[in-house]
Amino acid sequence: MFITIAGEEDKFCSQLDGLLSAQNHKVSVVFPLKRLREALQGLPPHLLVVAPAADSDNVPALLKSIRDEAGLRKLLILCINPQGASPEGVGYLDAGADDFINRPLNTHIFLARVRTLLRRRVWNGDLEEDEIAFLNCGPLAMKLVSRQATLSGKPLVLTRLEFDLLAFLLRNAEKAFKREDILQSVWNYPQGVATRTLDKHVETLRRKLGSFGAAIETVHGVGYRLSPPPTQASGKASRIAR
C-alpha cells in the first residue's frame, strides 16, 4: 500500500516512516506540511497520514481544501492530534479526516487504525488485497492488511504477536537478527526485556507451522532468521506492495 506522511516534525515523521515501512508499505514523507497540496497533485496515495505540530493552526483548512478537490474526496486521511486530550481531533474529523489518534502515540493502536482504514478500500472494491501487501514463501502466504495467514492453502490461527513476528522474519528472509532487535523492531519492546518472551513465541510458531517451522532457524550467539527450505529457495519471500 502506498502511504504518504505529511508533518511538521522531521524526527517524528521518520519514526512513522519506519513503523509503516516495517509493515511492508511503500511510504513517502512530505515535510513540511505546507508542501502537501503540491505533493498530492501527482498520483494520490492510498492513505494520507497528517502529523501537525502543536502550534499548527491551519490543519482544518488544509483538510477542507483536500476534500474540495474532486479527485481527492475518496482519499483516506488519518490525523495525529499533537495535543493529546485536546478537542482538536474532533475538528479534524469535522474538516474531512476519516480518523484521528492522539499523541503520545501508541504504536500498536496507530498501526491498527491504519489497517482498519486500508481494509475499507478492500471492502469497497477499490483494490484487491493482493495488490496492497502480500508475502509468500513456498506454501506460506500472508495478507498483511486483513492479517490472514495460510499454509498450503489452510488457514493458520496466529495471535497478533505471532503474526507480526512471522511477517517480520518473512519479509527479511535469510537475514539473521539479534533477539533484542527483533523485540524492538516487531513489538517496540524496550531494550532489556527478557528475550525468553521471544523464544516462547518462536517455539509456538514452529509448532503451528509444522514441517515448515524448521525454516525459522536459531542462529547461535545471535538470534533467529527465516531460511526457506532448499526446494523453495527460488521462491523465497516475495512481496507485492504498491
54: pLDDT strictly greater than 50: yes
User: What are the Cα distances from residue 2, in Å, to 20, 98, 100, 131?
Assistant: 10, 17, 19, 10
Max alpha carbon distance in the chain (Å)?
58
Q: What is the pLDDT of residues 190-207, one digit of tens each?
A: 666 666 889 999 999 999
Q: pLDDT class for 238, splitting at 50, 70, 90?
A: very low
**Residue 132 reports pLDDT greater than 60:** no
Q: What is the mean pLDDT of the chain?
A: 86
Instruction: Indicate if the pLDDT at residue 50 is higher than 90.
Output: yes
The pTM for the full model equals 0.67
Q: ω into residue 32 within 30 of 0, thus cis?
A: yes
- Give residue 207's pLDDT: 96
CA-based nearest residue to 136, from 234, 36, 35, 4: 234
The H or E element containing residue 209 is helix 196-209
Q: How far apart are CA 16 and CA 113, in angstroms?
A: 13
- Long-range own/partner contacts, residues 117-120 (CB < 8 A, 24 or more apart): 117/47, 117/76, 117/78, 118/1, 118/46, 118/47, 118/76, 118/145, 119/145, 119/146, 120/76
Arithmetic mean of pLDDT, 231-239: 47
Best mean pLDDT range from 82-86, 116-120, 127-131, 202-206? 202-206
What tens digit of pLDDT does each residue of 104-125 get?
Answer: 988 888 988 998 898 887 777 7
pLDDT above 50: residue 240: no
Q: Per-domain residue ranges for the chain?
A: 2-123, 131-241
Residue type, 106: N
With residues binned 3-state (H G I as helix, E B as strand, rest as coil), the percentages for the chain, rounded to 5, are: 45, 25, 35
Does the domain formed by 131-241 have CATH 1.10.10.10?
yes
Q: How far apart are CA 98 and CA 195, in angstroms?
A: 38
Greater model confidence, 220 or 24: 220
**Rounded percentage of the chain residues whose pLDDT exceeds 70:** 89
pLDDT at 239: 43
The answer to whether the CB of 114 falls within 8 A of the CB of 99 is: no
CA angle 240–241–242, rounded 5-degree value:
130
CA distance 159 to 208: 11
Fold topology of 2-123: Rossmann fold (3.40.50)
